A and B are shown apart, each in its own frame.
Chain A
Amino acid sequence: MSSFKRKTLSGRATLPQGTRLSPFSTSTVITSTGIPSLDDILGGGLPLSCSLAVLAPDHHSAYGELVQKYFVAQGLASGQKVCIIHDEPLRFAREGIWMAGSTPSTPAQASTTAEDADDVKASQHDDKIKIAWRYEQMKKFQTTVSSNTLNDDLCMTFDLTCRIPTAALDAARQSAQLIPIDVGISEDGTGVIKQIEELLSNDTNAHAVRICIPALGSPHWGDMQPLTVLTLLHSLRRLLHRYPNACASLSLAPHMCTDTWGGPGWVQKVGWLTDAAISMSAFGADPSLSSLFPSHHGIVQIHTLPAPHTILPASDKYSTLRGLSSAAGTMGGSGENNLAFKCMRKRLIFETLHLDLEGGVTERRTTPSSNAMALDASMIHETMPAAVLATGDTKGSFATVEVEFEPDATRAVADVPAKPKKPKKKVAFRSERPDLYDF
């Protein structure tokens, strides 16, 4: 018998549910945010005892809140305690997302599965595209990471089309897994901090606790000043340091996410007082940006990254998306990738930002299809007389306008759609192909 014994890790057995040791540092325990690509950016996941701030400065979208919904759903699904701090915490929880397939299937559900099947078929078909031998062996071009490679059991797969089932929510509520805290209890947030402290001090170390603040500084928080927000962030962080089995994720209200609200350097101050901070600036406010990047919904900017037990953030070494370590061998090399996010029908993903091929990959065709042009032409013909007649009615006494069309011209247009549809030209690289991001 060999005298060598495998060293057993005693700590591994006592890890709370839904967490695991960071591959980077054995003293760090990480948990998932619910979004595999965000986990990758954070270096595997959000470490316990760390706070994450998501800034989404666009007023017309709610991407910050969406990240929080993922965070809550992941906590509930993996059996961790979830504490929601909101003006209507239970309503927020009811609007949450859930895993596909766990809800009773509705017609909408059925159609999505049919679409999925189509997607799969399409992807199989795409696989058979003939590729030049030189490139055939190369890896597929990927702009994001999938959960299969990175977080096998850490991160569940959620579907934005699925609501959280009421039964699951009630069960969580009854077993005190879901803890709602109303923000109305105090003006400046000290009451909230006290409640969190009470909650954490009563908690045993068996569970990981998630603290979620979906809209810090929304009108229900009262008249918040930059000082109160910073004090709240700082005291929250101190609490997390004291109770290292908790982690927090918060989104600031949209108007507070830019320097115009808190004075020069406001965003940086938020970054200094949290462990991880990212900005998700949606293109919605700027039409020129959305036309420049048609396949993304916004830019991701990283302010700070969690490093609870080391000097170097784990992300610098492990993040595939940021790509700081992938090139140049052992020394680490290249610059950081530009990151963007997009929200598809079923999921939110973070990915590397690339310019489209010239002219845009999604639009690339050899000739514009004739049938679309014909339809446009007929549309114009139909709408024009109506508009002219309307003006004719109001000023009926002054002028009469008569518009006539030669009947054979419209008939000629109507004949065109009968033409068989030209098949789209296949392009090997297509950014909107869903199978690349199949989690």
Chain B
Amino acid sequence: MQFPAPDLVSSHRLLLITDQLPAPADFLLHRFLHLHLKQSKTAKCIVLAVSESLERCKSVASKANTNVAHNESFQFIDVLDQFPPLQDRGEGHTNDISLKCIYDLLSVKLSDSRTNGQIPLVILDDITSLEWLGVSLVDLSRFARALRTLCVKMDAALVVRHHIVTPSEPDMLLRHLLQLCTYHIEVRPLASGRSGAVSGEVCVHLGPSMKDTNEHVISRTSALQYRLTESSAVFFDKGTSTGVL
């Protein structure tokens, strides 16, 4: 069983990944990165990292037989490097200046990569932490919208991850992101708690900007389950894991 389907990541698309603390979606982000880098040598991949470290990216990639350390098409941008420290910030509006920096940086990098028809991939690993660190909701939703527009303009694919801390009621940022996304990939822990055989389940919902289609959609009732491995994950249909049977 393979996930994601090869054409799930394509240009003009925003994939929103949501996860919860018991089942982090790190594996999906890394998987998107590895698949994209393996797909073609020249396809560019830009990681906007908020909480992920470059060290971990490298070691996970090397375990998955992907070399990112000496790969020119892999670019790692630490978002928080562009931020001034907390006490230097004025009343609110310096935040969007630094988000603007990231936007500008990204647009330069993307326009560099517009060669030979390959789709560049942009991964924003953690938009929620930005909100927790004090960036205002308005700035963040504008930033997300600007990122999406930029990626549509540059024929790039965009993957954004959001953490859900209150599963019962969606927060404001999630509502904004849901309006923007093409597909919403939901990673959930099992309701029955942690298990060695099944780490969690993945569903794919259609975003509002997509036409009615059932392509790629995986409903919650037929969710795809996965078990984490050292560098990635193994996917299987509900109830068919050899560990379960």
| Chain A residues proximal to chain B, CB less than 8 Å | 25, 27, 49, 188, 190, 227, 230-231, 234, 237-238, 241, 244, 264-265, 268-269, 271-273, 303-304, 308-312, 316, 322, 324-325, 327-328, 331-336
Which of B197, B231, B243 sits near A311, CB closer than 8 Å? B231
How many angstroms from the CA of A325 to the CA of B197 in the assembled complex? 8
In the complex, whether B85 has a CB less than 8 A from a CB of chain A is yes
B55 touches A272 (CB 8 A): no
Residues of A within 8 A of B243 (CB): 328, 331-333
In the complex, whether B228 has a CB less than 8 A from a CB of chain A is yes
Give me 6 other A-B pairs in contact (C-beta within 8 A), A190-B86, A231-B86, A272-B132 excluded.
Answer: A27-B59, A49-B55, A234-B133, A268-B165, A311-B27, A332-B196
How many angstroms from the CA of A273 to the CA of B85 in the assembled complex? 17
B195 touches A334 (CB 8 A): yes
Instruction: Given A27-B59, A234-B51, A312-B230, answer yes or no on A332-B197 (Cβ-Cβ < 8 Å).
Output: yes
In the complex, whether B229 has a CB less than 8 A from a CB of chain A is yes
In the complex, whether B90 has a CB less than 8 A from a CB of chain A is no
Which of B24, B59, B87, B227 sits near A310, CB closer than 8 Å? B59
Q: Kindly identify, within residues 59 to 114 of chain B, every residue whose CB is under 8 Å from any CB belonging to chain A.
A: 59-60, 63, 80, 85-87
In the complex, whether B117 has a CB less than 8 A from a CB of chain A is no
How many angstroms from the CA of A231 to the CA of B21 in the assembled complex? 19
Q: Kindly identify, within residues 16 to 35 of chain B, every residue whose CB is under 8 Å from any CB belonging to chain A.
A: 20-21, 24, 26-27, 30
Q: Kindly identify, within residues 30 to 56 of chain B, every residue whose CB is under 8 Å from any CB belonging to chain A.
A: 30, 51, 53, 55-56
B132 touches A304 (CB 8 A): no
Which of B53, B132, B163, B229 sits near A230, CB closer than 8 Å? B132
0 or 1 for each of B211-233: is its CB under 8 Å from A? (1 = yes): 00000000000000001111111
Residues of B within 8 A of A188 (CB): 86-87
| Chain B residues proximal to chain A, CB less than 8 Å | 20-21, 24, 26-27, 30, 51, 53, 55-56, 59-60, 63, 80, 85-87, 128-129, 132-134, 163, 165-166, 192-197, 227-233, 241-243
Residues of A within 8 A of B59 (CB): 25, 27, 309-310
A265 touches B230 (CB 8 A): no
Residues of B within 8 A of A269 (CB): 132, 165
What is the chain B residue whose CB lies nearest that of A268? B165
How many angstroms from the CA of A332 to the CA of B194 in the assembled complex? 12
A331 touches B132 (CB 8 A): no
Nearest-Cβ distance from residue B214 to partner chain A, whole angstroms? 30
Instruction: Given A271-B21, A311-B232, A312-B228, answer yes or no on A227-B196 (Cβ-Cβ < 8 Å).
Output: no
Chain A contact surface mostly: loop
A336 touches B86 (CB 8 A): no
How many angstroms from the CA of A109 to the CA of B112 in the assembled complex? 72
* Most chain B Cβ neighbours within 10 Å, of A309, A322, A328: A309
How many angstroms from the CA of A303 to the CA of B24 in the assembled complex? 11
How many angstroms from the CA of A271 to the CA of B59 in the assembled complex? 22
Instruction: Given A238-B80, A312-B230, answer yes or no on A325-B196 (Cβ-Cβ < 8 Å).
Output: yes
What is the chain B residue whose CB lies nearest that of A314? B230
Residues of A within 8 A of B233 (CB): 311
Instruction: Given A188-B86, A241-B55, A273-B51, answer yes or no on A336-B194 (Cβ-Cβ < 8 Å).
Output: yes
Instruction: Given A308-B56, A310-B59, answer yes or no on A333-B132 (Cβ-Cβ < 8 Å).
Output: no
Which of A264, A272, A311 sits near B30, CB closer than 8 Å? A311
How many angstroms from the CA of A209 to the CA of B194 in the assembled complex? 33
What is the chain B residue whose CB lies nearest that of A334? B196
Residues of B within 8 A of A265 (CB): 165-166
Nearest-Cβ distance from residue A40 to partner chain B, whole angstroms? 16
What is the chain B residue whose CB lies nearest that of A322? B194
A234 touches B129 (CB 8 A): yes
Residues of B within 8 A of A244 (CB): 55
Residues of A within 8 A of B21 (CB): 268, 271-272, 303-304
A25 touches B194 (CB 8 A): no
A327 touches B55 (CB 8 A): no
Closest 7 CB pairs of A and B: A265-B165, A332-B196, A331-B243, A324-B196, A309-B59, A241-B53, A268-B165
B134 touches A331 (CB 8 A): no
How many angstroms from the CA of A245 to the CA of B20 in the assembled complex? 29
* Most chain A Cβ neighbours within 10 Å, of B51, B85, B132, B229: B132
A310 touches B51 (CB 8 A): no
Instruction: Given A309-B56, A309-B59, A311-B30, answer yes or no on A331-B51 (Cβ-Cβ < 8 Å).
Output: no
How many angstroms from the CA of A304 to the CA of B129 in the assembled complex? 16
Residues of B within 8 A of A27 (CB): 59
How many angstroms from the CA of A304 to the CA of B189 in the assembled complex? 13
How many angstroms from the CA of A272 to the CA of B24 in the assembled complex? 9
How many angstroms from the CA of A309 to the CA of B163 in the assembled complex? 21
B193 touches A331 (CB 8 A): no
A335 touches B55 (CB 8 A): no
Nearest-Cβ distance from residue A252 to partner chain B, whole angstroms? 15
* Most chain B Cβ neighbours within 10 Å, of A188, A331, A334: A331
Residues of A within 8 A of B231 (CB): 310-311
How many angstroms from the CA of A312 to the CA of B24 in the assembled complex? 10
B163 touches A336 (CB 8 A): no
Residues of B within 8 A of A332 (CB): 196-197, 227, 243
A335 touches B232 (CB 8 A): no
How many angstroms from the CA of A322 to the CA of B193 in the assembled complex? 12
Residues of B within 8 A of A241 (CB): 53, 55
How many angstroms from the CA of A334 to the CA of B230 in the assembled complex? 19
Instruction: Given A308-B55, A310-B63, answer yes or no on A335-B86 (Cβ-Cβ < 8 Å).
Output: no
What is the chain A residue whose CB lies nearest that of B165? A265
Instruction: Given A310-B59, A311-B231, A332-B197, answer yes or no on A272-B85 (Cβ-Cβ < 8 Å).
Output: no
How many angstroms from the CA of A335 to the CA of B229 in the assembled complex? 17
B192 touches A309 (CB 8 A): no
B197 touches A328 (CB 8 A): yes
